[in-house]
Chain A
Amino acid sequence: NAGVTQTPKFQVLKTGQSMTLQCAQDMNHEYMSWYRQDPGMGLRLIHYSVGAGITDQGEVPNGYNVSRSTTEDFPLRLLSAAPSQTSVYFCASSYSKGDRGRNYGYTFGSGTRLTVV
């Protein structure tokens, strides 16, 4: 199992550019989510998905779009990058709350470090 795979690991963007951060999981998890982590702080939820075709906003959704066309993939799009979006981005996935006998803990990817100049 590869777990949760995020690409790229590092990215530098100019203000106004757009890009897509990729996230893929091979654990057949229903739930996927995106977080950002700023220096010295905890993670903040950007968007999340409870299954293919279903997404919802988290705490800090502005400037980001998501889609979930398959169970495996949950890309995060930056529409017009701003310096305030400089951060480390983490993708996470988990089983459904109702699944019995499974590990409910969320599995995180290793992160994408994004710098917007």
Chain B
Amino acid sequence: GESVGLHLPTLSVQEGDNSIINCAYSNSASDYFIWYKQESGKGPQFIIDIRSNMDKRQGQRVTVLLNKTVKHLSLQIAATQPGDSAVYFCAENMGDSWGKLQFGAGTQVVVTP
């Protein structure tokens, strides 16, 4: 989910359960979306992407869903593992120019044993 300011929303998940992280994007002209994972002290790491002409894309243990009608993006992580603990960001490529990403504020995922 999205947030404003310093307090990231936190998703607490038990190891082995599925996680769903939500994101609302702002620009109806955006044509490309990416989910990133960021661990403490590191740069964002690419997880999965989706173009606006698709509504679902699957990767290894991850699925991204895109609902353009309500400008909503979600990331599903199957069988969440301790190594999945991180901050997750959605990003949209603003449709007027390639090379410009707009990021959401992020969601902290905490995996508990």
In the complex, what's the smallest C-beta–C-beta distance from A88 to chain B, in angstroms?
9
CA A50 – CA B99 in complex, angstroms? 7
The range of chain A's interface size is 20 to 34
B99–A105 touching, CB < 8 Å:
no
Check: B100 CB closer than 8 A to any chain A CB: yes
Instruction: Spot the interface stretch: B12-20, B40-48, B66-74.
Output: B40-48
B100 touches A58 (CB 8 A): yes
Closest A residue by C-beta to B44 = A108
CB neighbours (8 Å) of B101 from chain A are 33, 35, 43, 45, 92, 106
Interchain CB contact under 8 A, B43 and A42: no
Report A100 CB to chain B, min CB distance, Å. Answer: 13
For window 11-42 of A, CB contacts with B under 8 Å fall at 31-33, 35, 39-42
Docked Cα-Cα span, A84 to B75, in Å, equals: 33
B residues lining the A interface (CB < 8 Å): 5-8, 32, 34, 36, 42-46, 49, 89, 91, 97-106
**Is the beta-carbon distance between A48 and B42 smaller than 8 angstroms?**
no
B90 to chain A, nearest CB (A): 9
The answer to whether B99 touches A49, judged by C-beta atoms less than 8 angstroms apart, is yes
Say whether B32 contacts A48, CB under 8 Å: no
Q: How long is the Cα–Cα vector from A40 to B103 in the complex, in angstroms?
A: 12
Q: Which 8 A-B pairs have the closest CB atoms?
A: A42-B103, A108-B43, A40-B6, A105-B46, A97-B98, A31-B99, A43-B103, A48-B99
* A48→B100 contact, CB < 8 A: yes
Q: Which residues of A contact B91 (CB under 8 A)?
A: 42-43, 106
Which residues from 44 to 87 on chain A have a C-beta closer than 8 Å to any C-beta of chain B?
Answer: 44-45, 48-50, 56, 58-59
Would you give the shortest CB distance from B83 to chain A, in whole angstroms?
A: 18
17 other A-B residue contacts (CB within 8 Å) besides A32-B99, A90-B43, A96-B98: A4-B43, A31-B99, A35-B101, A40-B7, A42-B91, A43-B44, A43-B89, A44-B103, A45-B101, A49-B99, A56-B97, A94-B98, A94-B99, A107-B46, A109-B43, A110-B42, A111-B42
